[in-house]
Structure 1
């Protein structure tokens, strides 16, 4: 297992390599948005499955949100972030080059994790996925993940702060104040219609 600190993680990410880090839910594999193909390669992930853009605070992600959804984004973000909630929302045309979806939406999340937030304060937003080989459950410990991804550096220190081990709740913006549940996780959203 190759443990690295935040400074080394910045160098790896800048060079186009992914880094594995803990979040408040499951460990994540992340990369800078311009290198999104690397996540698909390491995970053997279907290219039709989009990645999630994580940030350290909701203002860091606001430029990725289309004008039509900004007010609803701000309202939900203020109530539920940081936390185990992913919002799928129309993407701003100015940021569409980072899209990994085919429908011009983007999944956004701010994890309630000091480790993840500290990393993304330095790197900016990261495109992420859970740190497992696609189709397998994977491990929730750094040691177990290192077996699946022996060539990917892991952000220390370990042991990591404890995550919930559950995936985030995912909601999708439909239109003005109208959200649809995609996946129920530990966060219950009152605003769902």
Structure 2
């Protein structure tokens, strides 16, 4: 199927694009969607063949597990082993937004996101189009829409220049606002730890968690 880019800033294009994206995700295909940080390549998180296709399209191995985007606060409860006070604090302070949270995954989940070692990286994007799609199809495995080693794109055109016809549906929601990847915080261990500094400053996280910023930067 030839690829198509849908202008989702236009109401008609948005309606058609969302419908085609929903169909594609449910059929086990990968799509490109806007988020508030950079554009992402996404697939049904529970379709292991689709996630494998996502990794192959990015030319990335399973040693770098794929994050999962959710469309609401409540979705996280079914994906984690325990919804801790720390997780609740971070979700209420920064979701939707540019914070990805590494948590112990619920042991019964039938997904294969890569070498996760019993954890999953979750985020709720602050992007209305992405949230509408996620609420329709459920949690999606989403990684930045770039070939590994290339710059993550901040536009649908930038993603299409990298993936071409390997992706059939591109949702164009305008330029990504933050223009940088999310901050990643790992709360799966005894103490919270920043794995990647990004859209949310470490100082803001430390303030919300009542910690010294250097306590979070222990890597």
Tell me the TM-score normalized by structure 2.
0.80
**How far apart, in 2, do the equivalents of 1:138 and 1:169 lie?**
15
- Describe the SS at the equivalent of 1:144: helix
**How far apart, in 2, do the equivalents of 1:154 and 1:71 lie?**
38
Q: Where does structure 2 lack aligned partners over 5 or more consecutive residues?
A: 7-16
Offset of residue 124 of structure 1: 0.6
Offset of residue 138 of structure 1: 4.3
Do 2:154 and 2:176's aligned partners in 1 also have CA atoms closer than 8 Å? no
Is 1:36 matched up with 2:51?
Answer: yes
- Which of structures 1 and 2 has the bigger CA Rg? 2
**How far apart, in 1, do the equivalents of 2:88 and 2:100 lie?**
13
Do 1:99 and 1:105's aligned partners in 2 also have CA atoms closer than 8 Å? no
Offset of residue 99 of structure 1: 4.0
**How far apart, in 2, do the equivalents of 1:97 and 1:144 lie?**
29
CA offset digits 1:96-134 (Å, max 9, x no partner) = 534423411100000111111111011111001000000
Tell me the TM-score normalized by structure 1.
0.90
Offset of residue 13 of structure 1: 0.8
Do 1:131 and 1:145's aligned partners in 2 also have CA atoms closer than 8 Å? yes
Structure 1 residues 177-192: aligned runs within 5 Å? 178-188=191-201, 189-190=205-206, 191=209
CA offset digits 1:112-165 (Å, max 9, x no partner) = 111111110111110010000001114322222212111213443x45154211
Q: Where does structure 1 lack aligned partners over 5 or more consecutive residues?
A: none
CA offset digits 1:166-192 (Å, max 9, x no partner) = 01000001446x310101112131225
CA offset digits 1:3-31 (Å, max 9, x no partner) = 24111111111111101011000000000
Say if 1:40 and 1:99 are closer, same or farther in 2 by CA, change over 3 A: closer
**How far apart, in 1, do the equivalents of 2:137 and 2:67 lie?**
15
**How far apart, in 1, do the equivalents of 2:149 and 2:97 lie?**
25
Counterpart among 143, 160, 172 of residue 157 in structure 2: 143
Say if 1:159 and 1:107 are closer, same or farther in 2 by CA, change over 3 A: closer
Is 1:101 matched up with 2:115?
Answer: yes
Superposition RMSD in Å: 1.8
